[in-house]
Structure formats: structure tokens, C-alpha cells
A and B are shown apart, each in its own frame.
Chain A
Amino acid sequence: MSQRENPFASPDGAKPTCLEMLQVILDGDASKVQQEYFASHMEECMPCYKNHQLDMQIRALIKSKCCGGNVPADLIDKIKSQVNSVS
């Protein structure tokens, strides 16, 4: 890795593990600087690259298979009429 300061390091300077960095990325909590750092880190770290690929693939599968489709139309009508009756 280059001499760049690790933006994932904790305030006391403790160096994060690869898995800790990956988790921040996956959880959507990474800053732009962290994202860029991790992208360049993956170019040099095969386990991180593979784990990231795997996790992104799982996420894509969840998004495509677990979205459940639209709510039944009669439910929207029922809710609207109940709300109108109490308003």
C-alpha cells in the first residue's frame, strides 16, 4: 500500500483490518475518501477484491429477488378510504 494515511484508521490511530474496511464500504457508511482508498487498496489485495465482489453479488441478488413487487392495489384503496373516514 502507498504511504497515504489510512482514512479508516480510528482516532487513536489504530490500523483497521481489511474486513473492517470492507464492512464500512458494504454498510454504505464510507466517505468519498474512504471509498477511493478502498478502491485502490483492492487493486493490491486479492482477498479484499474477492470478498468485495462476492458481497456485491449477494447484494445484487437480494435487490433483484427480494423486492417483493408492488403492494396489492386494493390495500391502497382500503387505507385511503379509512383515512378519509377519520379525517
Chain B
Amino acid sequence: MEETPRAKYTEREKLDVFNNEFLPHINSMYNFGYRLTLDEDDAKDLVQDTYLKSYRFIESFQKGTNAKAWLFRILKNSFINDYRKKSKEPSKVDYQEVESYYNSDEVDRQITTDLRVESLQDMIGDEISNALNALDVDFRTVIILCDLEGFKYDEMAKILDIPIGTVRSRLHRARNLLKEKLSEYAKKMGYKNS
């Protein structure tokens, strides 16, 4: 939990904050949980754990601050501590290796300048979802936080416990990797110059 000055809440205030500031984010939380675990039951467990923790540690939530970012941070930490170990995903390459590989100049250029808007317009099925899910979870996460949930650099840095510079570079690489995946799908769909 974030080390912040503890707020004092009465039992009634706790329930008010929980119902009015925390629960309205439950659909976004469930989607985040699902995109991390790629399993509906695991996502439900993760959301449930997160909400129970949010209530238990409600005194470290400062009223008037960003409840959604606070909840996302708890969910992300629960995922790393409780779920990532037993995740149904195959074990991933060590993240340091991934990070250093993708830090190479080769990946920093615009990878798929050949991917075209026209080929995306035919992706009406699960291609985009599959492409996103195929990314390493750390890259998937920044795309979700930025493009789906609209978090800013500083909020993402807090949620993920990484410096803002790392958020920027990870987002840049995540977008390039997603384009690579989409380009592969487009080629399969028959776009010769996709």
C-alpha cells in the first residue's frame, strides 16, 4: 500500500467512499483484470480481492485524490503478488531481457510503416483483441492504461511503480509491437502491402 498519511473515516464514511468512489470503477477494473490474467474466473477473483483490500486499507486513500488510479494500483500489485506466479500463461522471458532487447535501436524506429488504415478497417473480429493479448503483459498493460483508460504519464508511473521515462519508452515499444502483430494478421488476411 502507498505510504500516505492515514485519513480518519467513520464506518458510514467508509461505506460512502466505497460505494460512491470505488464501486463505479468496477467495469474498468474487471476489464483490466481480464486483460492481465486472460481468464474470466481469475479476473473475478482479482477484482474481488482488490475491492476487499481497498476497503481494508481505505484509511490510506485520501479523499479527493484519484480513486481509479489508486484501485488500479492495488489490482496491479495483487496481480503481481498473487496471480502472476500461478498464471495460466506460459512463463515469460525474463523482463530485463525483453526490456534490453526492445531498447535496441532496431525497435525504436517506426516498425510497420507498411501497415495501412485500409487493412485495419477489415479487422472486425477478434484480431485486435488477440493482438493485444499476444503482447507481453507489461506492454499490454501500458496500452490498456493509456489507450483504454486514459491515464496520464504520472498516473501510470504511480500505478506501475516505474519512472515516467520508462512509461514513455514502454508505451512507444508497446505500440510498435502491437502494429507488428496487426501487420501479421493483415498479411494473413491477404493484404499484400499491408
Contacts and interface: CB of A to CB of B under 8 A. Distances in A.
A binds B: yes
Nearest to A26: B175
A27 B146 contact: yes
Interface string A73-87: 001101110110011
A65 B128 contact: yes
Interface stretch (B11-19, B71-79, B97-105): B11-19
Contacts, number: 102
A66 B99 CA distance: 25
Given A27-B153, A57-B120, A66 B129 contact: yes
B150 interface: yes
A47 B126 CA distance: 28
A29 B152 contact: yes
A47 to B, nearest CB: 8
Interface residues of A, number: 35
Contacts of A62: 128, 132, 143, 147-148
A53 B47 contact: no
Interface string B147-169: 11010110000000000000010
Given A68-B35, A78-B48, A63 B168 contact: no
A19 interface: yes
A79 B30 contact: no
A32 B123 CA distance: 32
Given A70-B27, A87-B11, 9 more contacts: A27-B146, A29-B153, A53-B117, A67-B31, A68-B31, A75-B30, A82-B52, A83-B15, A86-B55
Interface of B: 11, 14-15, 18, 23, 26-27, 29-31, 34-35, 44, 47-48, 51-52, 55-56, 110, 113, 115-117, 120-121, 123, 126, 128-129, 132, 143-144, 146-148, 150, 152-153, 168, 171-172, 175, 178-179, 182
Interface of A: 19, 23, 26-29, 47, 50-51, 53-55, 57-59, 61-63, 65-72, 75-76, 78-80, 82-83, 86-87
30 contacts: A27-B153, A28-B152, A29-B153, A47-B113, A55-B175, A57-B117, A57-B121, A58-B120, A58-B175, A58-B178, A58-B182, A62-B143, A65-B129, A66-B144, A67-B148, A68-B27, A68-B35, A69-B27, A71-B47, A75-B47, A76-B26, A79-B26, A79-B47, A79-B48, A79-B51, A79-B52, A83-B55, A86-B52, A87-B15, A87-B55
